[in-house]
Amino acid sequence: MLKDKIIRKIFTTTLFLFIIMFSYTLKNMNKEIEPVIDYVNIKTNYKVYLKDKYNRLAINNVYADNIDKLISMLYGNNIPKGLKSPLRKNFKILKLLKDKDTVKVYVNEVPERIELESISYTLFSVENVKKILFYVNNSFYTETEKDLGINRRYDISEKENIKKASIYYKEDIEGSSYFVPVTKYVNNKNDKIDIIIEELTSSFIHENNLISTITESKINNYTFDNNILFVEFNDYINKKDLESLTLSVFENYNDLTEIIYTSKGKILDSVKNVKK
């Protein structure tokens, strides 16, 4: 009888220790990969890329304290008038996992280009996310990075001297203004800053309903110095009208820390790169 009690006690204690050790092992195994929705716990500004009536992706800024809200908006929930979900009705995001600077996105079917871009760029608005891995039914499908390109347009006539530049335009939808980034591929030997300025100061934009806020302005000169861009206008320009140029420059020059706008020897505005 005493022997049986001792054996039962030893067995119970051993089993208890085994459960603790097994739970600890599982905890450590799952430590590196965690759900993205647990990654953000402070309310901050994110960008959700939604579809306009021309099937382009427009940026909707939203304050949220978790990524559930961003994904919900991609499905079309609580979005502004005039914008639509970029996802097909049967397309499902099954799971999101984060591993350091990479997010793994599990979906139920192969994403179309607009779905790939909208999910990727929405998640890139989360701090420190640099790479997206897509899995279709648990099988690896493709990888995207920040140079993916969005709302892509091709204006090329030869294979040589192809440059890629992302330009931010404005679009008025149902009484609200949104930025629409367009990645352009052009035959051009000039630097990206020249392409950006040429596109934004052009009096004619080859896109429906898109506008530039600096078409009437003239840029006299620009210089790069110690990762700072100095842009000189010939006359005064409103700070609000500089947003398209600022976004376009920072999108194409990752190492840039600041842009300083001047006119006639006076500083119009100074903008820091918040991503730095």
Cα separation, 132 vs 120, in Å, equals 6
Phi, psi of 180 (to 5 degrees): -125, 110
Could you give the count of Cα atoms lying within 13 Å of 78 in the half-sphere of its Cβ? 11
Cα separation, 232 vs 244, in Å, equals 16
pLDDT given for residue 43 in this prediction: 55
Q: Is the per-residue pLDDT at 41 higher than 50?
A: no
Strand partners, 182: 167
pLDDT given for residue 20 in this prediction: 40
Q: How confident is the model at residue 252 (pLDDT cuts 50, 70, 90)?
A: very high
pLDDT given for residue 276 in this prediction: 56
pLDDT given for residue 203 in this prediction: 64
Cα separation, 259 vs 104, in Å, equals 34
How large is the average pLDDT for residues 180-203? Answer: 90
Assigned token pair, 166 = 């992302």
Cα separation, 84 vs 52, in Å, equals 6
How large is the average pLDDT for residues 127-146? Answer: 94
How large is the average pLDDT for residues 175-181? Answer: 94
Where is pLDDT greater, at 54 or 37? 54
**Residues 6 or more apart in contact with residue 53 via CB below 8 angstroms:** 82, 84
Q: How confident is the model at residue 3 (pLDDT cuts 50, 70, 90)?
A: very low
pLDDT above 70 as % of the chain: 83
How large is the average pLDDT for residues 261-268? Answer: 94
Could you give the count of Cα atoms lying within 13 Å of 49 in the half-sphere of its Cβ? 22
Closest by CA position to 168, among listed 241, 227, 256, 261:
241
Closest by CA position to 112, among listed 83, 88, 138:
88
Domain ranges of the chain: 36-145, 153-272
Phi, psi of 135 (to 5 degrees): -125, 130
Q: What is the pTM of this model?
A: 0.81
The 10s digit of each residue's pLDDT in 79-93 is: 999 999 999 999 999
Q: How confident is the model at residue 160 (pLDDT cuts 50, 70, 90)?
A: confident
How large is the average pLDDT for residues 183-208? Answer: 86
Q: How confident is the model at residue 168 (pLDDT cuts 50, 70, 90)?
A: very high
